[in-house]
Amino acid sequence: MGDLVSVIMSTYNEEPDWLEKCIDSILNQTYSHFEFLIVLDNPENEQLKLLLEDYQKKDSRIKIIPNPKNMGLVKSLNTALEHCNGKYVARMDADDISDPERLSKEKSYLEEKNLDFVFSGMIVIDENDKKQYEWDNNAFTPEEIKKVMGIWNISLHPTWFLKREVYTAIGGYRDIPYSEDYDFSLRALSNGFKIGKLNENLLLYRMRSTGISKSNNFEQFIISRKLIQLYKKNKLDDYSYVKDEINKVEGQLKTGEKQKYSEAEDIFHQGVGQVKEGHYLNGIFKLVKSLLISKYHIRKFNELIKYKVLTKQMKNQ
């Protein structure tokens, strides 16, 4: 039968159709010895509640955990972890779709490579299931992960598969705004856990136009940079110190910087799209224009270049 895997997920306001595709993608995994812990973080959403209860009646592997009120992702995931019985834990988001062999491949890779924590690449889709692009399908060894994670967050949260003891050892998730996954990954590295990445896309990641990751990407970038600084100084373990440092950074941000950053990001992505389509002159013009709008976007662009150069060097070794 194999070791039990606990799949943890929180649901709040997802479209029923998306949630059904998500749940079906887990129930139809080739590796079938799992429990599926679903936290209902919006107990007043009767439609989602009834949908989940219907699934639970059909498949005993599903366990619904209703929150008394909306608690947010961090507390919901930590609640799910308290109910886990598996040797391994896999993450899932309620609007994504897992490859049928995801659990099997991630478990095999972790065990064969003697790792504690693995994740994979993924394909970004839109609200209508249309493919947008692939999000990093490189493979990384634990040694390479340490180098790359000090520059860029490549640990794609919805694709995680790890030993439950990793969560136990470092105390689960912490309430770090928009960066709880990066904070967790960096703490795992700081505590000596071995992390690896498969070079396969094992998840379809739904990018919503109104999603949190898109609307708060400025705050996410700023906070992630602070986490990197604290990681390099070995100061991530003190949660109160980390929170104080993040509060300082947020308090120093000037009004209008978020708008400038968002505008620069939009123009940058337009430029990338035009270059890919062969409209080089217009594309390059927009790329340059984006760098003149926000100092934070310039910083992100510089660090993206560092990441690209580093990964290219790793491939050529």
- Please give the chain's pLDDT, 317 residues, in tens: 799 999 999 999 899 999 999 999 999 999 999 999 999 999 999 999 999 999 999 999 999 999 999 999 999 999 999 999 999 999 999 999 999 999 999 999 999 999 999 999 999 998 998 988 888 778 999 999 999 999 999 999 999 999 999 999 999 999 999 999 999 999 999 999 999 999 999 999 998 765 555 568 899 999 999 999 999 999 999 999 999 999 998 888 888 899 999 999 999 989 988 998 899 999 999 999 999 999 999 999 999 899 888 888 887 77
Pick from 178, 183, 167, 192: which is nearest to 238 by CA? 183
| Locus of tokens 């217009």 | 282
Backbone conformation region of residue 13, classed left if phi is above 0, alpha if psi is from -120 to 50, else beta: alpha
Query: Given the DSSP bridges, would you call strands 161-163 and 117-125 parallel, antiparallel or unpaired?
Result: antiparallel
Identify whether residues 128 and 259 lie together within a single domain. no
Please state, in angstroms and rounded to a whole number, the distance separating the CA atoms of residues 98 and 50: 23
Is residue 22 a part of any domain in this protein? yes
* CATH number where 132 lies: 3.90.550.10
Q: Do residues 163 and 88 make contact, with C-beta atoms less than 8 angstroms apart? A: yes
* Residue corresponding to tokens 């693995």: 118
Residue 198: the pLDDT is 94
Q: What is the model's pLDDT at position 254?
A: 82
Q: Strands, E, within the chain: which ranges?
A: 5-11, 34-40, 62-66, 88-91, 97-98, 117-125, 131-135, 161-163, 195-206
Predicted pLDDT at 287: 92
Report the domain count for the chain: 2
58 falls within a domain: yes
Q: How many angstroms separate the CA atoms of 201 and 311, rounded?
A: 18
Same domain, 264 and 206: no
Same domain, 66 and 152: yes
User: How far, in Å, are 9, 55, 97, 110 from residue 63 at the CA level?
Assistant: 11, 10, 19, 25
* Per-residue model confidence (pLDDT) at position 134: 86
Classify residue 196 as exposed, middle or buried by CB count within 10 Å of its CB (0-12, 13-18, 19+): buried
Task: Please say whether the beta carbons of 231 and 150 come within 8 A.
Answer: yes
Whether residue 220 lies inside any domain: the answer is: no
Pick from 181, 196, 211: which residue ends a domain? Answer: 211
What's the confidence (pLDDT) of residue 171?
Answer: 95
Closest to 135 (Cα-Cα) out of 204, 185, 182: 204
User: Which of 211, 232, 266 lies at the terminal end of a domain, its last residue?
Assistant: 211
Residue 205 lies in a domain: yes
Host domain of residue 170: 5-211
Give the model's pLDDT for residue 276. Answer: 85
In a domain, 259, yes or no: yes
Boundary of a domain, candidates 178, 211, 244: 211
Please indicate, yes or no, if residue 67 is contained in any of the structural domains. yes
Name residue, tokens 């070791």: 3
What pLDDT score does 169 carry? 97
Q: What is the DSSP letter of 316?
A: H
- For residues 182 and 280, membership in a common domain is answered with no
The three-class DSSP label of residue 133 is: strand
Same structural domain for residues 176 and 295?
Answer: no
197-230 residue pLDDT tens: 999 999 999 987 655 555 688 999 999 999 999 9
Amino acid symbol at 241:
Y
Give residue for tokens 């992390």.
195
Token pair, residue 225, equals 């940079």
For residue range 83-142, list pLDDT tens digits in order. Answer: 999 999 999 999 999 999 999 999 999 999 999 999 999 999 989 989 888 887 789 999
pTM score, whole prediction: 0.93
Contact between 181 and 93 (Cβ < 8 Å): no
Quick check: is 309 in a domain? yes
Q: Indicate whether 77 belongs to any domain.
A: yes
With beta carbons less than 8 A apart as the criterion, state whether 164 and 84 touch.
yes
